[in-house]
Amino acid sequence: MLFGIRLVNVSLAELKQFPEAQAGLHRAIATMPEEVAAYKNVTAARGHLLELLS
């Protein structure tokens, strides 16, 4: 069995055209456990990302 993963890059400017998606990403980053943030390598940028998504 094979599972494919399709990744799409979307700029934050483009994401802001979709308020529900923007809010969902903000919520996901804000509530992400520290261990997961470290694994995904977003710890350093986390605060700034949350500001940009507010």
Model confidence over 10-52: pLDDT tens digits?
Answer: 999 999 999 999 999 999 999 999 999 999 999 999 999 999 9
> What was the pLDDT predicted at 41?
94
Q: Quick one: CA torsion of 33, 36, 37, 38, rounded to 10 degrees?
A: 120
Residue 47: count other Cβ atoms within 10 Å of its Cβ.
10
- 23 half-sphere exposure, CB direction, 13 A CA radius: 3
What confidence tier does 3 reach under pLDDT thresholds 50, 70, 90?
A: confident
Q: Identify the CA nearest to 21 among candidates 31, 11, 35.
A: 11
